[in-house]
Structures are given as structure tokens and as C-alpha cells.
Amino acid sequence: MKKMMAVLLLITMLFAMAAHAEEGAQEAAAQPLTGLTAAEIVANMGVGWNIGNTFDATGYKAPDISSHETSWGNPIVDMELIQRVKDAGFNSIRIPITWYQHVSDDGTYTIDPAFIARVKEVVDYCYACDLYVIINMHHENWLNVPELSTDYEAIGVQLGAMWRQIADAFADYDQHLIFEAMNEPRMAGTGLEWNGNKAGYAAVNYLNQIFVDVVRTEPKGYNGERALMIPGYAASSSYAAMNAITIPTVNGVEAENLIISVHCYSPYDFCLSDKQVDFNPNNRSHTNSIDSVFSNVEKLFLKKGIPVIIGETGATNTQNNTAAREAWAFYMGAKSTAYGVPIFIWDNGNNQISGGECHVWVRRQLHPKLRSQRTPYPYPTVVEQLMAGAASCERGSGLTEPEPIKSMLNGTVLWGDANGLKARQEWDNSYIQLSADAAWFAPGRTFAVIYSGSGAPKLVLDSAEKEQWWMPIDPDRIDNMADKKVAWFSVEKVLAAVAEYGIDDPAQLRNFCVISTDGMITTFEVSYIGK
């Protein structure tokens, strides 16, 4: 009897200990996330996922809030979907949101409380799964206008009024929630829509400052410390657009807890069109555009202590090229971890196999009776390889400085690769793009391109200030060099060529590119000779 009593007492004690432990765990989970820097938050975010073509759809029929969410063919977001995203290994969710259809037209830009409440509901789903969340302004037709570069002050009034309401509504959400100022602010419908110019860059910088002013001025709740994301022009990953970003200030000093937002669908022909079906991580022509984005992000932001998030990326399904997409996913996942830059996969729910916009990663709804829709992930191996790539290396392991490349001509190396970079005829994803520096164009210098192959290189320069994006230049001459060749371009010839397009100052030049002209070439070095 005593033995039985002892056993019962032990069981009672174990249950009490378990209950106490569970209560402690619940209390710990309930503790708000606070006191972190943006860099610390980004370090915890892992791989992210976009609820695309949902709250950013534009087919709203007032007053039915759900018609907005479903107007582009996706179902209502429920807790089960968010749990599937979490179960797949994603640690963060970006919710693209189009607000303008729910805004009053009386000049106050008042947002419908019912729509804010619905967005809050989905954010709450994410919080319940312990996910980081980004909310933004997406597909706003009053912002992405041809006149952005001239009407930015009036646009800023509406931007500020709307973000004031959003910031106040979500003020009590802790640091798991991130505000992203805009999606891809640009001069839509113009020839400069995706490349921009100096005035466009300045307009976006102005609007980013308005956004920071609104959230940080007399902040409520957690908004004083909340991580804020700002894009450059069109959220472009081009060096020129990223280099043009001005960090907003608060009380005269650079704003704290800021994150740079960049989009990267690279290589473009593989990720957003059906032109490139294969992806080989050992082929530099496939990986160079990805490598360049991460390298430029490191140079422009990470080395200055400014964290970066790639808010959109993904690879379209082209005729079920699953193996190629697996290879791309592993490569992007590994790059993300190696540089400490979270990537957010774009998912628009499109499960087709052609057209360049087939980006589905997580099934929006499960239908147990339909064989084609029973599984939670249409292409599970692609998701698995994304996560495997992200887990394949240590965070930040790719940030070490490479050994400087020595010039084969005793010149000053602008770009070099001992293994060479292959480029096909004319313009493709493998061309070399450098940010032009006026100091390169000193009188008496000569640019040199060392290469091999049947074709020949050409320089192509562009200028944002003059809105001239295509200025091709042929070499002065080509010399043989053992098993390679050298194409020479005198500075005088280069400046004379761009002068024909109205460029009279090297400081007006933006990009300095090397492309192939009439066949396949492998480039090893781009340099200049002369003091």
C-alpha cells in the first residue's frame, strides 16, 4: 500500500512539474519581441514566402472585402494555409497589400476599417505560427504613375496619410511585424519604368523619407523601434538603382532599424520568362547575375551595417523543368544564408507550366478528393532544395573578401575572373555590368578586354541623367595574346562615341557593360592601362 501511495505521489509531482513547465513555456512565448536591431531581426528571419496575387489583387467589388482577396483566382487566406507555410520551413511571410480601393475619396484618404481588420486577422495567423511578417503598399495606381518624378510631393501627401493610419492600427504588434514603405515605386508606363533616371531615384528617396517621418514621429506602441523596409527605384537590384538609395534621417541622423528592400529575379530569362529552361550552378553564365546582386548588396549596404532583404525572388515553372528549379532553389538558398540576406519566394498561386508567371510553392487549398490537389506542396522537391540550400552553409560565410585579381596586362582591374565568364551572341544574362566611375576615363588611358572565343566584345555604356541607355562602342583593335585575345578601347574613342549621344561628361555615365557581338566569348579581364 505504501509503495502504491509513493507511486501515486510521484505521478502527481510529475504532472505538476509538466504543468508548470508548460505554463512557463506559454509565458515565455507570450513575451513580446522588443529591443532588437534591424540586423538582429533579419538574422532571425530565415527563408520567407509571399502571399502573392491575393491582398495585392485589384478586382475589388465594394463593399465585399473578400472579393478583393479572391479577384485574381486565389482563395481566402486561412489559418491552415499559414500553417502549411510554416511546416514547409518558411520562417517569415510577406503580405503584399493594395490599399487604394479601400480609401475614401474625400481628401482624407481614410482606409476602410473592415479592410484593416481583415489584414490584421491574417497577420494574427502569422503571429500564431511564430512567423515574422512584412506588410506593404503594393500595386498602388496613384503612386506608380508616369509623373512620379515630378508629382512626388503630392503623392507623398497620400502616402503619409495612409501610412499614418496603418502605423497606428498595427502599433501594438511587436517586432515580429515589419513595415515596408512601397513595393516597386516607379514611373509606370514610360520607357524609364524599370530602369529609372536621376529624377526618379530622387522621387523615391523623398517618399521613403516621408514614410520614415510618419512612423517615427511621436510613435505609438512599438513603432519607435519597429524595423522599416525601404526600396530603391522599382526595388531594382541594378547597381545604379541601389547605389542611388539615400538613407532617411530622423532628427538629422540616419534612421535606425532600417532594412533595404531589393527584388531579384535572376537570371531573368529563367525566372520570369520561358526563354531559359535549364539552370546549372556550375555554369557562370547562369549564376553571374545572381552573384553580382549579392556582391553589390554586400558592397553597398552590408559592409556599412545596413541589412538587406530580397523581398521577391522565384523561378517560373517552364514545361515542368523541376530539376532545373531545384538547382536554382538550392543555389539561391545557399546565397541567402552565405550573405545573411533573407529571400522571400514569390508565390502567386499559378500552377501552369508556361508564360513566365508560374510561381506556386505552397498549395492555397487542399482538396482530399482531388488527386491533383491533395498534397500541400505542388513541387515539394523544389521547396526541399530551397531549404537544403539555406541550411548548407553558415550564415555570413560568403562575406569574406576574395583575393584581388592581378592584371595580365599590369593594368588596373575593373573586373576579373580567372575561370572566365561565357557570354552568348549579343545581349543575355551573362553580360558584365559595372557601375561607371568618372575617374576611369582619364586622358591617355585605354580599356582592355581579355577574352577567348569566336566572337568579339563590345562596350555598351548608358546614362541615367541623359536617359540614354544604349551606347555601343566597337574596339579600336584586337590583338592576339597566347591562347587569348585583347580588345582595346581608347578613352578618347569611348568619350567621342558617347558624345554623339549628348554625353559630354563621364560623370553622366551610369553603367559600363561588356557584351558579346557575333558569337560566344569567354571574358577573363576588364581593365584600363595607363596612369
pLDDT per position as a tens digit, 299-335: 999 999 999 999 999 999 999 999 999 999 999 999 9
Confidence of residue 30 (pLDDT cuts 50, 70, 90): low
CA angle 54, 55, 61 (to 5 degrees): 95
Asked if the bond preceding 378 is cis, omega within 30° of 0, the reply is no
| Stretch (H or E) spanning 513 | strand 511-516
Tell me, what's the pLDDT at 206? 98
Above 60 in pLDDT, residue 1? no
> Active site residue: 184, 298, 326, 525, which one?
184
pLDDT at 464: 73
Contact 217, 228 (CB under 8 A): no
Domains defined for the chain, CATH in brackets = 34-390 (3.20.20.80), 412-529 (2.60.120)
Q: Does residue 522 have a pLDDT over 70?
A: yes
pLDDT digits (tens, 9 = 90+) for 83-109: 999 999 999 999 999 999 999 999 999
Largest CA distance in the chain: 105
Cell numbers for 36:
532588437
Q: Which pairs count as long-range contacts for 12-18, CB under 8 Å and 24+ apart, including other chains? A: none
Is residue 18 predicted with pLDDT exceeding 70?
no
Average pLDDT over residues 198-206: 97
pLDDT tens profile 383-433: 999 999 999 999 999 997 666 788 999 999 999 988 888 776 555 555 788
Cα distance from N-terminal residue to C-terminal residue, the chain: 99
Q: Which residue in 69, 180, 298, 312 is the catalytic one?
A: 312
Looking at every residue in the chain, the average pLDDT score rounds to 91
Note the pLDDT of residue 424. Answer: 64
Q: Any idea which of 5-14, 117-126, 282-291 has the lowest mean pLDDT?
A: 5-14
Q: Per the structure block, which three cell numbers stand in for 496? A: 567621342
Average pLDDT over residues 224-240: 96
Residue 16 is predicted with a pLDDT of 45
Confidence of residue 79 (pLDDT cuts 50, 70, 90): very high
| pLDDT bucket at 454, cuts 50 / 70 / 90 | confident
- Predicted pLDDT of residue 426: 53
pLDDT value, residue 485: 96
Apex 186 CA angle, 180 and 192, nearest 5: 155
Could you confirm whether 326 is annotated as catalytic? no
pLDDT per residue as tens digits for the range 133-163: 999 999 999 999 999 999 999 999 999 999 9
312 is catalytic: yes
**pLDDT given for residue 8 in this prediction:** 40
| Tens-digit pLDDT profile for residues 346-377 | 999 999 999 999 999 999 999 876 766 778 99
pLDDT value, residue 21: 41
Residue 310's DSSP bridge partners are 262, 343
